[in-house]
Amino acid sequence: MKARPPAGAAQVLATATRVVLQVVLEGHSADEALAGFANHPQRAAIQAIALGAVRWYVRLAPAVLPLASAGGGELDARLRVLLVCAVHQLEYSSHSPASSVAAAVDAIRLLDLARAAGLVNAVLRRYLRERALRLAAVDRTLATRHAHPAWLVKALAQAWPQHLEQILTANNEHPPLCLRLDLRRGSVPAYLDELKAAGIEANGVSGVDSAVCLAAALPVREIPGFAEGRVSVQDSSAQLAAVLLAPQPGERVLDACAAPGGKTGALLERAGGELDLVALDSDAVRLHRVAENLERLQRKAQLVQADLRAAPDWWDARPFDAILLDAPCSGTGVIRRHPDIKLLRRAADLPRLAATQLELLRACWPLLRPGGRLLYGTCSVLPVENLGVIEAFLANEPGASLTQLPQAANCSPPLRSTSTGWQILPLARAGGDGFYYACLTRATTAGTV
């Protein structure tokens, strides 16, 4: 194996390894870890390797790492992560195996671990000889075959036994780029024509009137209408929040967990901008992104930085007609967009998240006017964060009742009606992200809705 790697390949591999290390060792999200390389000339290649290695880490690590740990000692984290990134290249890139091995040997030197160069070379060469057997052994277990942690596979199997393999498969797909069109500033058929004229292949999404999915991803600056705010990037399942809350012009609305503002923009667009909208979030940095998004959309809202669970001293005591609570969650419905979730989440996070979701729901309920509606949503597919939270809330809140969501028969994000709301499952690449929605109405007088 004498081939030299393409120029810069080792540098890219070493940088991707540093990104994955931040996820695996320090618990940073991949987005945070990649943010430091936003202006890197090789950003796309670094991102592709890093996200690919994160996506397949749980499958590739047990296939390759035992080859390096024959002595039984703890492997240097840089070596572990580099080997997984290199095997990802061997399995999923179009580079020749020889050049990928050579790049990995050079990359370990760039990671200040020159003494491991011989080991990297030997391990990867042996992996190439044994890959079929090694992967077959790993693939005997469902969780490692699909590169998911065992606890998550167990939770998904309990919740969705008939769809388990479909969900696991879809979670490892590359998601489509979906756009939300501001229907006040254009129609989907006209926008599809505009895209066609620009040579961009795209489709509408049945059941989501504002959604357009591109056949291939594009940088946002190349998307017609993005800069002037006619379109935004938003998955079709997320777009349903504004459809279901259906804010009416003149209403006073609270977007209770608003940042970075995807749904804030969608709510404003639905009502033609004529909402008295408060967009609240506890995270100042993320709230700044709401401001940036609204500026691009040329829409206005009152931005509030506050912890929803604290006394609402930001509130002027005028109740809201409608509230959207897009609660922080496990993100198990958006793994295809954020594969790091598979490495970062733990089973123990779930009860803590569910308790927070219930607290947030209880905190915003008193801000709703009698007769008003609250849409609860998460991008989780786990019932403990969805049905479980709504049932626990209803059990102690006699003034709250469930509102039937409209029939979802022709909606292309695959929907399941549950006893409390809609569960969208991520089942296919072309479908929407996993999402849950439930709509609650506050009684006008004690006991009546």
Ligand X SMILES: C[S@@+](CC[C@H](N)C(=O)[O-])C[C@H]1O[C@@H](n2cnc3c(N)ncnc32)[C@H](O)[C@@H]1O
CA angle 439, 443, 447 (to 5 degrees): 125
Can you give the C-alpha Rg of the chain in angstroms? 24
How many whole angstroms separate alpha carbon 259 and alpha carbon 237? 17
Cβ-based nearer residue to ligand X, 282 or 403: 282
**308 is a site residue for ligand X (CB under 6 A):** yes
**257 is a site residue for ligand X (CB under 6 A):** yes
Contacts (CB under 6 A) with ligand X, residues 378-397: none
**282 is a site residue for ligand X (CB under 6 A):** yes
Residues in contact with ligand X, shown as a per-residue x/- string from 182 to 221 under the rule CB under 6 A: ----------------------------------------
**283 is a site residue for ligand X (CB under 6 A):** yes
Which residue blocks in 139-246 are alpha helix, DSSP H? Answer: 142-145, 150-159, 164-171, 188-197, 236-245
With CB atoms as reference, the residue minimizing the distance to ligand X is 257
CB 346, CB 418: distance < 8 Å: no
The amino acid at residue 295 is E
CA atoms within 13 A on the CB side of 342: 28
Contacts (CB under 6 A) with ligand X, residues 219-238: none
**31 is a site residue for ligand X (CB under 6 A):** no
**299 is a site residue for ligand X (CB under 6 A):** no
**52 is a site residue for ligand X (CB under 6 A):** no
How many whole angstroms separate alpha carbon 54 and alpha carbon 39? 21
Cβ 231 to ligand X, closest distance in Å? 16
The alpha carbon of residue 323 and the mean position of all alpha carbons in its chain are separated, in whole angstroms, by 22
**305 is a site residue for ligand X (CB under 6 A):** no
Cβ-based nearer residue to ligand X, 75 or 363: 363
Candidates 192-200, 206-214, 278-286, 384-392 — which segment interacts with ligand X by CB under 6 A?
278-286
**307 is a site residue for ligand X (CB under 6 A):** yes
CB 261, CB 279: distance < 8 Å: yes
Cβ-based nearer residue to ligand X, 347 or 355: 355
| Residues linked to residue 179 through DSSP beta bridges, in sequence order | 212, 233
Pairing of strands 422-424, 435-442: antiparallel
Spatial CA neighbour of 146 closest among 325, 299, 336, 10: 336
The number of residues that bind ligand X (CB under 6 A) is 18
Whether the CA torsion 440, 444, 447, 449 is positive or negative: it is negative
**315 is a site residue for ligand X (CB under 6 A):** no
In this structure, what token pair is assigned to residue 187? Answer: 């129609």
How many whole angstroms separate alpha carbon 37 and alpha carbon 341? 20
Cβ-based nearer residue to ligand X, 217 or 355: 355
Cβ 367 to ligand X, closest distance in Å? 13
Cβ neighbours of residue 152 under 8 Å, at least 6 residues apart?
Answer: 143, 332, 342, 345, 347
Confirm whether 329 is a catalytic residue.
no
Cβ-based nearer residue to ligand X, 208 or 280: 280
Cβ-based nearer residue to ligand X, 174 or 309: 309
Phi, psi dihedral angles at 215 (to 5 degrees): -70, -30
Candidates 58-66, 276-284, 337-345, 399-407 — which segment interacts with ligand X by CB under 6 A?
276-284
Cβ 371 to ligand X, closest distance in Å? 24
Tokens 């390894």 -> residue: 17
Tokens 């979701």 -> residue: 357
**262 is a site residue for ligand X (CB under 6 A):** yes
Q: Which of 88, 230, 263, 345 binds ligand X (CB under 6 A)?
A: 263
How many whole angstroms separate alpha carbon 27 and alpha carbon 320? 37
- Which residue is catalytic, options 213, 379, 411, 439? 379
Cβ-based nearer residue to ligand X, 20 or 267: 267
Candidates 200-208, 246-254, 257-265, 382-390 — which segment interacts with ligand X by CB under 6 A?
257-265
Contacts (CB under 6 A) with ligand X, residues 358-377: 360
Phi, psi dihedral angles at 72 (to 5 degrees): 90, -15
Cβ-based nearer residue to ligand X, 171 or 330: 330
43-68 vs 77-92: helix axis angle to the nearest 10? 110
Q: Which of 9, 61, 82, 258 binds ligand X (CB under 6 A)?
A: 258
| Residues linked to residue 424 through DSSP beta bridges, in sequence order | 415, 435
Cβ 331 to ligand X, closest distance in Å? 8
In this structure, what token pair is assigned to residue 179? Answer: 């756009």
Spatial CA neighbour of 11 closest among 75, 85, 84, 61: 85
**281 is a site residue for ligand X (CB under 6 A):** yes
Contacts (CB under 6 A) with ligand X, residues 324-343: 326, 328
Cβ-based nearer residue to ligand X, 187 or 314: 314
Candidates 5-13, 64-72, 256-264, 413-421 — which segment interacts with ligand X by CB under 6 A?
256-264
Q: Which stretches of the chain bind ligand X, using CB under 6 A?
A: 257-263, 280-283, 286, 307-309, 326, 328, 360
Active site positions, annotated: 379
